[in-house]
Amino acid sequence: MSHPIKIGIVGVGKIVRDQHLPALGKDQDYRLIAAASRHGQVDGIPNFPTIEAMLDQVPELEAVSLCMPPQFRYDAARTALEAKKHVFLEKPPGATVSEVEDLKTLAAKNGVSLFASWHSRYAPAVEAARAFLETARISSAAVIWKEDVRRWHPNQEWIWTPGGFGVFDPGINALSIVTHILPAMFITSAVLDFPENRASPVAAHVVFRTSNGVPVTMELDWLQTGPQSWDILAQTDKGAMVLSGGGSKLAIDGKVVHDEPEAEYQMLYMRFAEIVRAGASDVDLAPLQHVADAFMLGKRNVVEAFFD
């Protein structure tokens, strides 16, 4: 087996504590040797206030995982790539499509790997859904992603500012699945609901069609209390598919055919190690492009103010 990849983590907040540290702790492919964050700390390793200080003081680092909000990621990614470190980008990989394209070019130029991670793509039933749809004739599909922002994103101001994407922050997870399991598609219309006191949408109603004319709708809502839904439905000649729980459970005509506990971040780090060792990058921008298109084509609808 190859030696463990010496990795540093940047932007120590909710997702680092919830997912990255537990996943890295179990993975023999990595040794977490440093962290950089203005306020957050990781116990037991050297911590630095900036990525520049971390790279300067810990030159043996081979890779970094960038987990700050997307609006603040580009400069850190550029610094790391120029220092010839492999880079893992949390989702969404950036605040714009073109900045991530630039990072892709920079990674190739510096001979290191860039990974635009999409954790929901690694949800346990996604591959089974993809395999099912590959052999079926799809007549329509729908994404229903409705969650309570106050429960999942309390006090996260960045998410409401430009580049935070509002309800598309969870919505892009759905897009990362549908762009993996459905044929290529594009947006034909969209309505985005912006609270009158916020710069990002709290709900969105998006209509796509696939290149062969299949209608796909997407309903995103951030004010859903009670049961939460992270579901993708498809009507097909082989039955009605429901991929629920954010990609964790698959049912065909009401019969559950796949239901496993999730291990998304373990799978992401497995994939990152694979591309680092193969000298490759993995940067699929299709989910981010759809979000950009929704903002480009979508009608802006002003709705009631939102307060935490």
Q: Which is nearer to ligand NAP, 14 or 209 (CB)?
A: 14
Q: Assess 40 for contact with ligand NAP (CB under 6 A).
A: yes
Nearest residue (CB) to ligand NAP, 72 versus 286: 72
Asked if 37 interacts with ligand NAP (CB under 6 A), we say yes
For ligand NAP, the closer of residues 14 and 238 by Cβ is 14
Q: How far is the CB of 286 from ligand NAP (least distance, A)?
A: 17
Which residue, 150 or 209, has its beta carbon nearer to ligand NAP? 150
Where does the chain show beta strands of DSSP type E?
5-10, 30-36, 47-48, 63-66, 86-89, 114-116, 138-146, 185-195, 203-210, 215-221, 229-236, 239-244, 249-252, 255-259, 299-303
| CA separation for the pair 298, 205 (Å, rounded) | 9
CB atoms within 10 A of CB 26: 12
Site for ligand NAP in 112-131 (CB under 6 A): 119
Q: Could you say whether residue 178 binds ligand NAP (CB under 6 A)? A: no
What DSSP string runs through 108-169? HHHT--EEE--GGGGSTTHHHHHHHHHTS-EEEEEEEEE-BHHHHSTT-GGGGSTTS-TTHH
Which residues are annotated as catalytic? 91
Which one of 62-70, 123-131, 203-211, 274-282 is the stretch in contact with ligand NAP (CB under 6 A)?
62-70
12 lies in the site for ligand NAP, by CB under 6 A: yes
Query: Which chain residues interact with ligand NAP by CB under 6 A?
Result: 11-15, 37-40, 67-70, 72, 90-91, 119, 156, 158, 169
